[in-house]
Each structure stands twice: as structure tokens, then as C-alpha cells.
Structure 1
Amino acid sequence: MTGHARPRTTRTAALLGAALLLSACGAQGTAATGADAGPPRPGGTLRLGISSNPDCLDPQQVGTNAALNVGRQLVDSLTDQNPETGEITPWLAERWEVSPDSTAFTFHLRSGATFADGTPVDAAAVKTSFDGIKALGPKSLLGAGYLAAYRGSTALDPATVKIEFSVPSAQFLQASSTMSLGVLAPAAYAGTAEQRCQGTGLIGSGPFVFESFQPNREVVLAKRPGYAWGSPLWGHTGEAYLDRISYRVVPEPGVRTGSLASGQLDAITDVQPVDEPQFTGNGFTEPVRPNPGIVFNLTANTTRGVLTDAKVRQAVSKGINRPEVTSTVLSSNYRAATSVLGSTTPLHADLTKELAFDQQGAQALLDSAGWQPGPDGIRVKDGQRLTASVVFSAVFNQNQSALELIQQQLRKIGFDLRIELHTTAETTTIQQSGNYDFLWFNTTRADPDILRQLYSTKSANRSKLTPGPLDEALDQQAATVDPATRGPAAERAQRLIVEQAYVIPVFELTQVLGVGPTAHGIEFEASSRLRLFDAWVSGS
């Protein structure tokens, strides 16, 4: 990446950040366009088409990409994460120390950073912000998990804050780089959480400030004058280039792509596979980056029906032809899963061999478990059909098509996968109740601790497991930032999940943008959300 990164990384920060190096790279982090556009030009408005309405703008509360792509521009974080290496680097904190048991994190703040209301970003403000996130409880869709064991924060002096947890929480170092734990001004908490959702009192220290929000139509952010404390990972210092960012809500994919092609928009998110060929030439570019975290998968409830049998779950995994799913339903921009974690996740383990398509192996497993072909091709045992349902919502446009192809693939081994479409709210309720066979979903996070959050018996436990070796591995990876310990523990956890088919990974969600010839410098941060500090626009 080009630019003027300030050499602020201390030895302590560098050593701790090294714990989060990626095991697999290849992400495309920069969306630069127009090789002849010349140097960046300050000014102008980036017209960005987004696929859904950001129901809440407060990054501490929301979990959707549409909202987080707005919130990232409004708030700074204690740390940043390099999207190419996974390393945790300074931002609002110049350096930090982590206790040997990973229960206490002491951050030393840089000087000079202020919130949009002019108040300083000091230790007292950080404490107020983290206490505020914790007080949100389940309203903080991502932060609640990051701060599940949060005990509290202490301002040791104006420039030093100590954040403590009741159990080892190595994951917090990466969590501190996210917009979900972005720091808001103390004045932001004078109003209600609902008011912050609509932008009222949403006061951050980021390079942009909130200007207006028309639900289902447009969100407008404006440049923060005098901003001068950006992350060293960014491409330039000082203020953002853009005067404004206009997020235009355009749910219909065809309208979104048409608006970009006609010049009514400068860039769009969520380009659909069928539309991708439009933006691979003629001055257009198509930046892509696979999401880190949990890939799209079938998570099995191991206490329900035929899925109580490991051989059945393993047969389902072998019976899915993942490359066929990506090549038929998606595009070459999407990767077949190589683990339960996406390939851009730090400490990802490559389990390609374990996830190979093996129809004969699947049939042999079912034969050995006593499942015999029935009259309609679906296997039976003791009068019971080999069937299970999958609950999903249409948060990703290709979900139903992907599941229909998987359904066809599994029929060839004699397994009947029933597909149940629900609203997002209904799916959440079903997931919380445990009333499902399979769940189909993905979850974005650039840290392997997302496995503990979702599959530990002490946490969400989506596979309904009993305490055992997986808990041990998940606890070990949470206990230290030392990669010599954390890496092997994270790999053990991934292997157990895949080999026992608690989770059946299928493909990695990928962010695919369409960028027109007038837009430049749009980038992905480590969680594959947009970073627009270095973005700029040129004349057509």
C-alpha cells in the first residue's frame, strides 16, 4: 500500500500483533481504478449504491454490512488490523500491554485526537464508551460477544486505560480494531441508543461526521475538518479526500448495476454473479475480498434426528461438491470452503483434503450406518427416512440457489435435505430456540475466536454439543495472544469441527464491488468492510 504510515508501532505492539498473522493470504485490499487518473484530488462526493437500508447507524449496535460500511467512517478504534497480514497495529492507542493470562489490556493513547464535538479522546472517554457498549447488552449485536466477559475499564491517567475481563480473552486485541468497539464521545451517551441509531448524538472521532439520514433512501456523511490521527495503515495523512459520501439505498440488483453503468452512481456494493461481467473492463473495476470468519455452512444440531449420528453428518459433508456450487451458482470470485473459517481469517487451517467431494465415500458411510436405498432413492433405516431440514433467510441473494443445488447433490447419496426459507427475524428466533436440524449462515470476523463464540458449550453452542475436546481447544486459543500456543489450538478446533461434521462448510462469502471510472481508492479493511478515507472522485 502506498502512503505515509507513521512509524509508531512499538516492540510490544508488534510482538502481540504477530500473534494474528494470516495463514493464508490473497485478499485484494485496494480498489484503485483509472491508472491515468493522476494523483488523488480533494473534494467531491462519492455516490455509493448499497443493497439494503442501514436500519441503525451506530456501529456499536449494528451487525449488517450496510450499516457497518457507514459506521466505519465515523469512528476510530483503539487499534487497526492489517487486511493483508492480520497483524494488529496502533491507531488511537500507540502501544499496549497484555497480561500473561490475557485478562487485562493496558492501552497508551496517542495525543491530539478529538471527537467531533471537540472533546479529547482520553482514557475517561474510552472507559465511558466501553461501559456504554456493555450496557447495550444484546442491542450490541457484535460488541456483546466481544465484551461478554468484560469486568470494566480504569483510567490510570488521562492517556492510559486498562480494560479487564473475568476470563482469558485473547480475542479482545482483534476486537479492539473493529468499528463495533469504535470509540464514541461521552456526550453520545446523553441520548438514547435509539437516537444514536438514527444519527442523533452519534459523535465519533473518525474522518467523517454524520450529516443526514433518510431511511430507505440515503445516508450522507461529511468530511471532518482538521482530522489528523488516522491509522498508519492508511494511504495518506491528514483529512479525508472526499467532501461527502452519499450512500444511496438501491435494493434491486439490476437497478444498482444499471445506475453504475449509466454514471448515476460512482460505485456499488453487492454485485451479483450474473452482473459481474459488466464491470471487468471499459473503465470499470471489480474489487473483491473474501470475508474472514465463519463461511457459509450447514451447522448441525447434533441432538436432532438423523444428525445425532456422526457418520450421517460426515456423509453429508462428503456428498457436497463445493467447487460445483461456486462454479454453478456463484462465480470465480467465490472460493469453495477450505475450513470452517474463511481463508482470510487469521490462523485459518487448510483442510481442503478433509472437505473433498467423495460421493462413494459418503455412500459407504451410510451403508455402514445401516441406511439402505428406498423406493424413491432416499435411504431408510427402521422405517425412518434419511432426511433433515435446513433453516435459512435470504440475506445473501444466492442462498436459495446454493441450497437447491446442494439438495440435488445430496439426493445422489440418498439424503433428503428439506429447505425452509424464513425471514431474518424468524431465523434468529429459531436459532435461539434450538428448534432446527441444520442452520445455514455465515458470520464475519477476522479472528478465530468466532468459533468459541458460536460453538463452545459455554457460549452459543449452535451444534448443541456436550463439553469435550472442542471446548478445550477453544479455551486454549482464547487464553493467550502467543501464536505458538494459539495457532495449534485454533487448528485443533477447526479439525474437530470439520472431521466430526458439527459444521459442514460450503463456500466463502465474498464482497464484490462495482467501481466506475470516476471512483478511486476504495479499500477493504480486515473484516472486508469498506474503508473510504483514501477514496476520491475524478471528473467523468
Structure 2
Amino acid sequence: MSRTAATSLLALTAIVVTACSSAGGATGADAGPPKPGGTLRLGISSSPDCVDPQQVGTNASLNVGRQLVDSLTDQDPATGEIKPWLAEKWESNADSTAFTFHLRDGATFSDGSPVDAAAVKTSFDAIKALGPKSQLGSGYLAVYKGTTVVDPKTVKIEFSVPSAQFLQASSTMSLGVLAPAAYQKTADQRCQGDGLIGSGPFVFESLKQNQEIVLAKRKGYNWGSSLFKHQGEAYLDKIAYKIVPEPGVRTGSLASAQLDAITDVQPVDEPQFTGNGFTEPTRPNPGVVFNLHANVTKGVLTDEKVRQAVVKGINRPEVTNTVLTPNYKPATSILGSATPFYTDLSPLLAYDPAGATALLESAGWLPGPDGIRTKNGQRLTAKVVFSLVFNQNKSVLELVQQQLRKIGFDLQIEQRTTAESVQITQSGNYEYLWYNTTRADPDILRNLFSTKANNRSKLSAGNPVDAPLDAQSSTVNPAKRKPAAEEAQRAIIEHGYSAPVFELTQVLAHGPNAHGVGFEASSRLQLFDAWLSGS
């Protein structure tokens, strides 16, 4: 398949990217042409536990790692199309088990060594060897068979089963390429920046735990993504990521010009940056939306009508209008609207308490003395496990809890630490999980729902999602992949395997001197085109 045909895989889906410029804010045009120099002081909400993009999984870490490495390809945030970066062109075989990339000339790592086919092979083999330490890459390379150096500028990457998702995965920082010399250091050393040798537009300079991470401009960089707005070196001399966990302190530091930009603006703080020269760039996260993910082997959730009733009993617009802001969208599928091959299933997610009640009564669940339904002495209740990875999670779940009480369902909310939530997820000892997962490819559904992958719903063989999930994974042909992805999304909701609630949105804010602070396709920061104007 030609690169043109392969990249059309994702071009079918128009992705809505929103950005609001506050009244009175200086746009890039108002500030004049971009100019080089300066240090961007960027306030982030948590301290990255690791800065090696091949190992990390949190937004805080990925927002750092993206600036340090280049990827084989890039993904257009507006269309989902896969575009050239380190690879000028590529082909895949008929069943999507092999991808051949033709590398561009001239790219080098920060130690001066060339970005060639041998370096790509070393890097991909090393990511696979990391195993679970590569929090995202291990999934992308789960069925990785190996890499062959065809010639110095041509590399062939193969999988043991069809893996159409790899084309999009090749655009992520998790599969960004490091120099062979980087692997002379241990994985833990690379996490702290020691030996972290990439070919990206910035290089690692320093890390002070829970305080600051500093990156510096890569001198001579001239092989940027075809999606970058300019070519050559980055504009900024440095990026200083300031770790400021408290939202009020973060917003106050931006308002007082101690910071140039901040991430993770909370809904309650958004009005502060409407006007007065501030700008709020926003972008919805692609991938799986925040949802109640059911374990169909536990308690009342073994009853499909109960799961279906929960889907109908949630008033999603009330959630976004009451707890969140207009920057957040009610879920209209299990996938967010910024995901390639997303299908709008709004009718299946309409608020329908009467329909929910009818389902429960038909299944024998009758109102109890306190309003919670019962059946044969069993209360209609299930527990949801969550953590505060998003600041508003508890408030959202408390509102959903109130909504479900109206249909006689008792949702019990159990807050855990992120580490505890991960452990519970891995153990399978849960009724509902509350989470979202960011990925700009529908294959994220296979990773979470397939019986051949993580199978968070604990489905058995013969379920209605395995076949379409396998089908969308077996070809890069959009005419075949899109209907399979749609069938999987529809089945997940119709059978109540998940009750989607809302789409996570990345909300940034920056002052009048910061420009070009942007998002890549997975809604993580891309700072190559960022620049500072004078005060």
C-alpha cells in the first residue's frame, strides 16, 4: 500500500479542535512575527515521575517527553491523518503485519550519531524489552515480532498478528526514537534524564524533583515534522516546567506573571482567564471518555438490563452544565469526538429515566422502602472505584450518584489512590471502574474490551465486541476499518459494558507574552512553534 493510501486511513474523520481566545488577548498576529529567544515558564500540575518518553504514561511526563524525541510519523490533530516526520514515506502489507519506513536524510541525535535504520531497530527492540515499564509502548508493541534493517535508510517493522493501530502508534512520543548510546544507561537512569539522547527539537538539561524540569533548544535542528508551522530550530531557548500542584497557586502565578502559561486549568478557575490579555487554548482528548466500565461477572452487573438502565439513567448534559464548563462535552460514544473513526451514538446515550425504569421493572427490580430497588432480597447497588486523576472526578460521580438514585440504583463511590486503582484494575476485583484513556486511534477499545487483551468487562468468548475489534485491527483500509470500529462502539453501549459520561478536555491558559503553545493529536503539548514576545 502506498503512503498516500495508508495515510488516508485517518483522514476520513474530521476532528473538532476548539480553541478560545479571550477578549482583549494578544494573538500571534497582534504581537508581530514569531521571534526566537527566551525561556517559557510553564506551570504543570504534577511532578513527572520519569522524563523518558518511552517509559511514561502520565500527561505531565508526556508533555515533557514529546519535546525531546522525534517519531517516525506525526498525526494531524485536525484530520487524524498520518504525516511524514523522520520517515518520508511508508508502506504496509495486505494484512497489516508489516510496515516499511523510508527515513529522511540529515537527522541526527543530540550526540551527533545518525538517525538511521539501525538506530530505529535498536530503539524499538529496547522499548519491547522494557515490558510493563513502557506504560504505553508495551501495548503498541504487544505483538511486536521484530525490526529488520533493509538498508541504512529503510526499516521494516513486523508483528505476529494484524496490527493496523501501529501506524498511528508510530506517531506517538511513546515510540519516539532514542540514540543507541542511550541504552548504555539503565531504564531508571533514563527516567531521570541521564543518557536521554533523542533527536528532538529540545534536549534535557536538568531535573529538580517536585520543583522544575528544564529543557534547552537543540542547536542545528532542521528535520521537524511536516505538520510544524516552521522549519529549522525551535524558537524558545529553554522550557522551564514548574511543578505547581495546587490549582489556586498555579492560576495565581499566571495572573501575577510569575508564569507564562499553565496546564490543567480547573473549571472553577476558567473565568479568571476570560479577558485581561489571557488566552485559553482547549482541546478534547481522543480515546475512551470518562465512563463507568462494568465488570459483567460481579453482583447486579451480571444483569444486562441493569447495565442498560444505568446507561439510560445518566443525564450527561446536566453533568457538563453543572459540574464542568462549556469546554467539556457530554459523551456521545465510548470514544471521544476527537478520535479517528468515532461514531456519534447520541440516541443511545440520551437521558431516559422512564426507559431505565421500564428495563428494571421488567427484570424484576422493584422499589424498596428507601427508594432503592430490590430483587429477591438483593439491593440494586454497585460500587465504583475512582481516583482523582482529574480534579472534578468526585463531584461528577456524586452528581451521577444522585441521578441514578432517581431510577432506584445505588451507586456507591469509593475513592482510591492512583496506585490502588491500578492494582484493583489489574486484580479484576471491581464492579465499576471510573477512568478515561487517551489515544488517537479506535484500537484503544480492543486494548480495553477484547478478551484477547485487558478485557476489563471480563467478557466470555462469543461476545459481540471481539469480532469487530479484531476486524478494525486487521486493516488500514478505512472502508473496512470504519464500520468495524462503529460496530464495536455500538455493541459496547447497547450491552451496557460501559456507561460513557463526558469527554475530558485539556484546558490551558497563557498570558499575553506566550504564543504558539499548541496540542498534538493526542492532546499533549507540542512546543516547537511556541515563542515569547516582549512585555
TM-score class, shorter: over 0.9
Structure 2 partner of 1:47: 41
Is 1:514 matched with 2:509? yes
Distance 1:25 1:487 in 2: 15
Structure 2 partner of 1:80: 74
Which of the residues 463, 482, 485 maps onto 1:490?
485
Distance 1:346 1:46 in 2: 32
Structure 1 partner of 2:17: 27
Q: How large is the Cα RMSD of the aligned pairs?
A: 1.1
Structure 2 partner of 1:525: 520
| Residue type of the alignment partner of 1:88 | I
Is 1:477 matched with 2:467? no
C-alpha offsets along residues 71-116 of structure 1, whole Å, 9 cap, x if unaligned? Answer: 0000000000000000001100000110101000000000000000
Structure 1 partner of 2:529: 534
Q: How does 1:173-184 map to 2 (within 5 A)?
A: 173-184=167-178
| Residue type of the alignment partner of 1:90 | P
Structure 1 partner of 2:343: 349
- SS of aligned partner of 1:74: coil
Which of the residues 138, 141, 144 maps onto 2:138?
144
Question: Per-residue deviation at 1:241?
Answer: 0.2
Distance 2:103 2:238 in 1: 28
Question: Per-residue deviation at 1:29?
Answer: 6.7
Structure 2 partner of 1:158: 152
Question: Per-residue deviation at 1:28?
Answer: 3.0
Contact 2:290–2:504 (CA<8 Å) still a contact in 1? Answer: yes
| Residue type of the alignment partner of 2:381 | T
Is 1:298 matched with 2:322? no
Is 1:251 matched with 2:241? no
Aligned residues: 530
Contact 1:30–1:523 (CA<8 Å) still a contact in 2? Answer: no
Change (3 A) 1:325 1:99: same
Structure 2 partner of 1:216: 210
**Structure 1: which 4+ aligned runs deviate by more than 2 Å?**
21-25, 28-35
Contact 2:387–2:417 (CA<8 Å) still a contact in 1? Answer: yes
Contact 2:111–2:197 (CA<8 Å) still a contact in 1? Answer: yes
| Residue type of the alignment partner of 2:295 | N
Question: Per-residue deviation at 1:282?
Answer: 1.2
Question: Per-residue deviation at 1:36?
Answer: 1.6
- SS of aligned partner of 1:461: coil
Structure 1 partner of 2:388: 394
| Residue type of the alignment partner of 1:291 | N
Unaligned stretches of 5+ residues in structure 1: 1-10
| Residue type of the alignment partner of 1:327 | N
- Tell me the TM-score normalised to structure 2 length: 0.98
Q: How does 1:71-470 map to 2 (within 5 A)?
A: 71-468=65-462, 469-470=464-465
Question: Per-residue deviation at 1:467?
Answer: 2.0
Contact 2:28–2:516 (CA<8 Å) still a contact in 1? Answer: no
Distance 2:223 2:3 in 1: 18
C-alpha offsets along residues 454-502 of structure 1, whole Å, 9 cap, x if unaligned? Answer: 1000000000001223110000000000001000000000000011110
- Tell me the TM-score normalised to structure 1 length: 0.97
Question: Per-residue deviation at 1:34?
Answer: 5.0
Is 1:503 matched with 2:507? no
Contact 1:23–1:349 (CA<8 Å) still a contact in 2? Answer: no
- SS of aligned partner of 1:287: strand
User: Which of 20-29 and 288-297 deviates more?
Assistant: 20-29
| Residue type of the alignment partner of 2:364 | G
Change (3 A) 1:279 1:35: farther
Identical pairs, percent: 75
C-alpha offsets along residues 255-296 of structure 1, whole Å, 9 cap, x if unaligned? Answer: 000000000000000000000011121110111000000000
Question: Per-residue deviation at 1:153?
Answer: 0.3
